[in-house]
Structure 1
Amino acid sequence: MNTGTLNFAANLSMLYGHLPLLQRPAAAAAAGFTAAEIWWPFDSPLPADRDVDALARALSDAGLQLVAMNFIEGDMRAGDRGLLSVPGRAAEFRDSIDTTVAFADRTGCRVLNALYGNRQPDTDPGAQDELALESLVLAARAAHQVGASVVLETISRQEAPDYPLGNADATVAMADRVNDASGLSNTGFLCDLYHHGRNGEDIPDLLKRHAGRIVHFQIADTPGRGRPGSGVLDYPDFFSRIDASGYDGWIGLEYEPTRDPAVDFDWLPSLTARS
């Protein structure tokens, strides 16, 4: 594929999730990456200093720039898709804000992903949305202090039918609502092409309409959530459009690996990255 001048970052939680956490940065560096993103990497919203220090050291020792990370999102493999709008658990998200922002400041990470959370049975959706707005305003104001952006992402209806940000328009609208409420402009759109493709959304149109709101990209193919070229999505066209748009951020490789680097990254002519 002709990837032009686009910059790719390894998602440590998916590509290297089979490895112990502190071994993942070195594995990504060995594959040729100089940048990485990660889901919430700790066991609690208030991790021990030694755990935070150890991850920061592992990234530094591997020469990896952390370019995006999640606020605490719950157990993703078990079906959680964020906590910030979930009554009884939003406090965990809010407890994670200081740790997330401090770690971002320490590592130079400037994109912080806040997963919205699933609708809960017997809970008023409007009340959940108000709780989400309060949580996100707190996150946006904290992130602003270190020059970071908060991003919201769509999750496909097939994968998370109870997740309310089910398409690009809904996600961007919520980001705009946070900016209005916070008085800031640092909440934007994480465009995960896997989810939009799985939804059957018109990706070329989406990229055109929301170009000014996209802060970060993630990619995988569908079906199967494998590497680009393993499914039906037209990644050569998508990459060309992203490149032509002038996007100068990072594209996170958030797909299921085969664990064979020769296969997992065979679609990349080179691991282009910037320091």
Structure 2
Amino acid sequence: MPTHHLRYDVNCSILFTELPLLERPAAARAAGFEAVEFWWPFDEAVPPASDVDAFVGAVRDAGVQLVGLNFFAGDMPGGDRGVVSWPARSAEFRDNVDLVATIGAATGCRSFNALYGNRIAHLSRDVQDETAVANLAFAATAMARIGGAVLVEAVSGPHPYQLRTAADVVSVLDRVRAERGVRNLAFLADLYHLTVNGDDVAKVLADHTDRIGHVQIADAPGRHEPGSGDIDLDGYLSQLEQAGYGGWVGLEYVPSGPSGLSFDWLPRDRRA
């Protein structure tokens, strides 16, 4: 049972996948949660307006708050992990930024996750990094107009994603701030990815609490619900709370059984 008092939200792109996407916010609400987050919920960077309206309506009708949304990240099932550092897709990303700002304004969402992208073999790392700095600054400037922040995270897995450690992420945040003067960029601390990639998570949290804009959790090995693996998630979250973190904790795990049963670790009175 959690010993801290942080607020939880459900990532409806990885939980409740047995349901159609537009039914998942209501399922999260029925499970006792009042906040949700999503990866980019459409196949293309700029879907038809009717699809966007249906998504915003589903969140609103469920009576939940959208607290996190990813920018368009390419073909995620196909292995893409973001287009921020992909020069050929910069125009597509920037068109998506404008739409994300519109969704943020309509829903009250203020945290937006920009997946940095995979290493592209035929491009120099410098070109990819310069592209990313420009695109992150563009996104952050757009989100500043609605009081929002752009998040950047380290990601694990077999794909050649370029940011693997907290140090990788912080160096990007520092570079965008230094070169572009942008301040509404933050570190998304995904405790699962950081653990799997070998970071000293307790040290990362101690060193960078003031940079963390959002937290996500899953246990390891397996990326299932807390208690299914070996990560001291409650210890890390208690450390964060004691250090002054007051943001959201996104449940971004693959349920080991039916989604609804994967919340048994969290008493119902702690979900709202």
Q: How far 1:122 moved relative to its partner? A: 1.4
Instruction: Return 39-48 or 136-145, whichever deviates more.
Output: 39-48
- Counterpart of 1:192 (choices 190, 201, 221) is 190
Deviations 1:142-168 (A, max 9, x none): 000100000100012xx0452221100
Q: How far 1:80 moved relative to its partner? A: 1.0
Q: How far 1:270 moved relative to its partner? A: 3.3
Partner residue, 2:160: 162
- Counterpart of 1:266 (choices 242, 264, 267) is 264
- Counterpart of 2:223 (choices 213, 216, 225) is 225
Distance 2:242 2:268 in 1: 19
**Secondary structure of the residue that 2:150 maps to in structure 1?**
strand
Q: How far 1:186 moved relative to its partner? A: 0.2
Partner residue, 2:175: 177
Instruction: Return 85-94 or 34-43, whichever deviates more.
Output: 85-94
Q: Identity over aligned residues, as a percent? A: 47
- C-alpha contact (below 8 Å) 1:190/1:215 kept by paired residues: yes
**Secondary structure of the residue that 1:210 maps to in structure 2?**
helix
Distance 2:94 2:271 in 1: 33
- C-alpha contact (below 8 Å) 1:151/1:188 kept by paired residues: yes
Gaps of 5+ in 1: none
Distance 1:117 1:271 in 2: 38
- C-alpha contact (below 8 Å) 1:175/1:188 kept by paired residues: yes
- Counterpart of 2:241 (choices 243, 260, 272) is 243
- C-alpha contact (below 8 Å) 2:73/2:115 kept by paired residues: yes
1:117-132 paired onto structure 2 within 5 Å: 117-132=117-132
Runs of 4+ with >3 A deviation: 270-274
Partner residue, 1:61: 61
Gaps of 5+ in 2: none
- C-alpha contact (below 8 Å) 2:84/2:93 kept by paired residues: yes
Distance 1:12 1:26 in 2: 10
**Secondary structure of the residue that 1:77 maps to in structure 2?**
coil
Distance 1:26 1:14 in 2: 15
- C-alpha contact (below 8 Å) 2:101/2:146 kept by paired residues: yes
Deviations 1:48-79 (A, max 9, x none): 11111111111111111000100000122221
Q: Number of aligned pairs?
A: 272
Q: How far 1:261 moved relative to its partner? A: 4.7
Deviations 1:117-146 (A, max 9, x none): 001111111111111111111101000010
Partner residue, 1:16: 16
- C-alpha contact (below 8 Å) 1:188/1:214 kept by paired residues: yes
**Secondary structure of the residue that 1:76 maps to in structure 2?**
coil
- C-alpha contact (below 8 Å) 1:223/1:232 kept by paired residues: yes
Distance 1:181 1:51 in 2: 37
- Counterpart of 1:215 (choices 206, 213, 216) is 213
Q: How far 1:258 moved relative to its partner? A: 3.4
Q: 1:114 to 1:261 in 2, by over 3 A?
A: closer
Letter in 2 for 1:121: A
Q: 1:262 to 1:147 in 2, by over 3 A?
A: closer
Q: 1:230 to 1:127 in 2, by over 3 A?
A: same
1:75-94 paired onto structure 2 within 5 Å: 75-94=75-94
Deviations 1:224-265 (A, max 9, x none): 100111111111211211221221110000000135355301
**Secondary structure of the residue that 1:218 maps to in structure 2?**
strand
1:29-108 paired onto structure 2 within 5 Å: 29-108=29-108
Letter in 1 for 2:226: P
Q: 1:51 to 1:35 in 2, by over 3 A?
A: same
Partner residue, 1:27: 27
CA RMSD of aligned residues (A): 1.5
